[in-house]
A = this chain, B = another copy of it.
Amino acid sequence: MDKSKISHHISEQFNKDLEDVRNKVLAMGGLVEQQLEQAIEALLSCNVELAEQVISQDRQIDALETAIDLECTQILALRQPAAFDLRLLLAVIKIIHELERIGDKAKRIADMAIKLDCVVNNMPRHEMDHMIDLVKSMLDHALDAFARMTVEDVPEITGRVEKVDREYDNIVRLLITHMMEDPRNITRSLDILTTVRALERIGDHSRYICEHLVFMIKGENVRHLTQEELVEKIKKPL
């Protein structure tokens, strides 16, 4: 075999390795989305069995993070990639960490589904439904942008953080009123607050996934930027 064939063979294998990593991230993302979906369903439909299932499946997400992280480290050591390939691997290591954090929050919501034991009627349902829709769409669209390797939807996704924060503040105010009306509501209201805070954090982690994606595609670190600064950076041609 001549040298060019070997190098072609190596780069083909390398591309397969990167493709494999990308597919595993998407599979992990799918599992995390399912965990979140089921945790919320368990909470709202008062399904303790489903909540227990979410809790026991969290280890699977942890194991996926460990496995993909190891795979990225091994590719870095063996292939010593540069430019886009290097950024892809570094971004993946960070993205799977965000996914693991989101999985952890889904588990916390499932914990609260069990602890709250069907107090759905005491929750500010209208506001919570709105927040759930926002947060689920942020995660869904962030994973979709990663799958399509494009940043064009990022400003729209990260822009939703502000709406999530506003809804969070609304809910806190409602819960405080609820606690003041009757001190017997305090413990449960704190558990609802824990649930709502988990949702709010999922929105943040979805934003971080978008930021890592921008670094991967455009080579620009956009963490710690305001929404306006982020939009400017994304508009800039490569």
- Our pick among B183, B187, B223 for the contact of A62 (Cβ within 8 Å) is B223
Q: Which of A26-34, A77-85, A151-159 lies at the binding interface?
A: A77-85
Q: Tell me if A70 counts as interface (CB < 8 A to partner B).
A: yes
In the complex, per-residue mask of A161-189: 1 if CB is within 8 Å of any chain B CB, else 0: 00000000000100010011001001100
Number of contacting residues on A, CB 8 A? Answer: 31
In the complex, per-residue mask of A197-230: 1 if CB is within 8 Å of any chain B CB, else 0: 0000000000000000000000001011000000
**In whole angstroms, what is the CA distance A1 to B77 when docked?**
30
Copies of this chain, tallied across the complex: 2
Which chain B residue shows the least CB distance to A70?
B221
Q: Tell me if A111 counts as interface (CB < 8 A to partner B).
A: no
Point out the residues of chain B lying under 8 angstroms from A187, CB to CB: 176
Q: Tell me if A86 counts as interface (CB < 8 A to partner B).
A: yes
**In whole angstroms, what is the CA distance A183 to B73 when docked?**
53
Point out the residues of chain B lying under 8 angstroms from A73, CB to CB: 86-87, 90
Point out the residues of chain B lying under 8 angstroms from A62, CB to CB: 223-224
A73-B86, A80-B80 given; A66·B221 CB < 8 A = yes
Which chain B residue shows the least CB distance to A177?
B186
Which chain B residue shows the least CB distance to A221?
B66
Point out the residues of chain B lying under 8 angstroms from A193, CB to CB: 190
Please, could you name 30 A-B residue pairs with CB atoms under 8 Å apart, sorted by A?
A59-B224, A62-B223, A62-B224, A63-B224, A65-B223, A65-B224, A66-B221, A69-B221, A70-B221, A73-B86, A73-B87, A73-B90, A76-B76, A76-B86, A76-B90, A77-B82, A77-B86, A80-B80, A80-B82, A93-B93, A94-B97, A172-B190, A176-B187, A176-B190, A179-B183, A180-B183, A180-B186, A183-B183, A186-B186, A190-B193
Listed from nearest, the 4 A-B pairs whose CB atoms lie closest are A80-B80, A62-B224, A180-B183, A77-B82
